[in-house]
Amino acid sequence: MGAGESSHRAGRYVRQPTGYRAFIPAPLPPDPPLRLDGGLGILLSRADRALGRLDGSIVTLPNPDLLVFMYIRKEAVLSSQIEGTQSSLQDLLAAEADLFEKSDTAHDVEEVINYVDAMNHGLARLPDLPVSVRLFREIHARLLRGVRGGRLTPGELRRSQNWIGPAGGTLGEAIFVPPPPEEVGQALSQLEAFLHGSDELPLLVKIGIAHVQFETIHPFLDGNGRIGRLMITFLLTEGGVLEHPVLYLSHYLKKHRQEYYDRLQAVREKGDWESWLTFFLRGVEEVSIEARETARRVLLLREEHRTAITASLGRAAGNGHRVLESLFDRPIVSVAGVRDITGTGYPAANQLVARLTELGILREVTGHSRNRRFQYEPYVRLFTEQREAS
């Protein structure tokens, strides 16, 4: 493959009437074809195996949905942090539990809440709507609803030129200029045809190069990075590789953020798809192994706390187990919430919360004497230890 042939493998820059140069992506799959032998083939095999083991470990859990709630929120937090938000997983859980007054709620948290909504909407739509331009527009509308960027035509493909560069910079200072707006529709149609066309590419390879293509097209005025990362989850689920969305790849991409951007740009400038795929497949393997370990620890935690409740709560153990199971889906709870879960009176619910607090299962998180909230602290800690600081 010659140098010129390689540099135009992903597309080429075309000078526009007003003088700037915009990148027009070539249709997928890459031409000349990807080289999937040697080290890249080994990485693909390892990533496939790690992802399969993760899916198998989740499917065999007593109730896989107990994990999905937190995995989705972890991915939402990390993907949003890549784009500069400061909210943590704890902030998101607190906001969802109405621990903030509306005026005090960090604006960043609203963006993460929208991301959770967008992901859940996309996953719910997949049985009837394939990963497509229509789905991108639907989840984009939800992602930007009522937050910064909300004025930038949520759910609509851009009608003006955008660019990637320093904050506050001009088009002339851009690091990368995506295709002009009149090219966006055709580029997305070609991407959609590739996603659902028949070819011999392994699914993980197809997903990896589709992500780059989406980020290169940059079809919206805001939210492209988050939509492109959501697309990875949707394609893994649609392709049957993951039955449940429990892979937070954004952890890896955030940890290696500069390399992530550099690898995307190297595809555009040099046609270096293979180095991007090496980076991407390593991430899939690493995060799959980590997620499988987290799932194992969650299962052990659940059994430990079921045993403690049975041994310590006597006749209240049945209600204790009901509360415990609910905490995997809503890890912050009030006494009134426990009353509703158990169907008991307020005094009995208050006593049960006190007993669960004594066992170290719950921890009061407001510091108030009224309207208190209690968090399933050991469970939340599994998703925050040594991860958000990465």
Helices 181-196 and 133-143 cross at an angle (nearest 10°) of 120
C-alpha 380: how far from its chain's center? 17
Confidence check: pLDDT of 28 > 80: yes
Tell me the average pLDDT across 1-22. 80
Nearest alpha carbon to residue 24 among 160, 182, 133: 182
Helices 335-342 and 317-327 cross at an angle (nearest 10°) of 120
Res. 390 pLDDT band, cuts 50 70 90:
very low
Q: In 189-231, which ranges are E strands?
A: none
Please give the mean pLDDT across all residues of the chain: 90
Nearest alpha carbon to residue 142 among 184, 162, 113, 185: 113
Res. 385 pLDDT band, cuts 50 70 90:
low
Confidence check: pLDDT of 305 > 50: yes
| SS3 of the chain: helix, strand, coil, percent, to 5 | 60, 5, 35
Confidence check: pLDDT of 43 > 50: yes
Res. 257 pLDDT band, cuts 50 70 90:
very high
- What share of the chain in percent tops pLDDT 90? 69
What are the backbone angles phi and psi of residue 25, rounded to the nearest 5°?
A: -70, 145
Res. 104 pLDDT band, cuts 50 70 90:
very low
How high is the pLDDT of residue 269?
94
Q: Widest CA span of the chain, in angstroms?
A: 78
How high is the pLDDT of residue 317?
96
d(CA 132, CA 138): 10
Which of residues 60 and 144 earns the better pLDDT score?
144
* 3-class state of residue 51 by DSSP: helix
Does 313-384 carry CATH code 3.20.20.450? no
Q: Could you give the C-alpha distances from 10 to 97, 216, 282, in angstroms and in order?
A: 46, 10, 22
Tell me the average pLDDT across 198-224. 95
Confidence check: pLDDT of 2 > 50: no
Res. 106 pLDDT band, cuts 50 70 90:
low
d(CA 235, CA 81): 22
Locus of tokens 């997620």 = 291
Q: Give residue-wise pLDDT tens across range 260-297.
A: 999 999 999 999 999 999 999 999 999 999 999 988 99
Locus of tokens 């991108």 = 136
Confidence check: pLDDT of 105 > 70: no
Q: Give residue-wise pLDDT tens across range 341-354.
A: 999 999 999 999 99
Concatenating the DSSP letter of every residue in 309-325 gives HHHH-GGGHHHHHHHHH
**Side-chain-facing half-sphere of 138: CA atoms under 13 Å:** 18
Tell me the average pLDDT across 21-31. 96
CATH superfamily of 3-293: Fido-like domain (1.10.3290.10)
Tell me the average pLDDT across 128-153. 88
Q: Give residue-wise pLDDT tens across range 310-323.
A: 999 999 999 999 99
How high is the pLDDT of residue 46?
97
Confidence check: pLDDT of 389 > 90: no
Confidence check: pLDDT of 252 > 70: yes
Res. 52 pLDDT band, cuts 50 70 90:
very high
Q: In the chain, which ranges are E strands?
A: 11-15, 21-25, 332-333, 363-364, 374-375
| Tokens linked to 255 | 């940890």
User: For 169-173, 247-251, 255-259, which range has the lowest pLDDT when averaged over its residues?
Assistant: 169-173
* Fold match flag (3-293 vs 313-384): no
| Tokens linked to 223 | 């939210």
Q: Give residue-wise pLDDT tens across range 92-102.
A: 888 888 765 44
Confidence check: pLDDT of 107 > 60: yes
Domain ranges of the chain: 3-293, 313-384
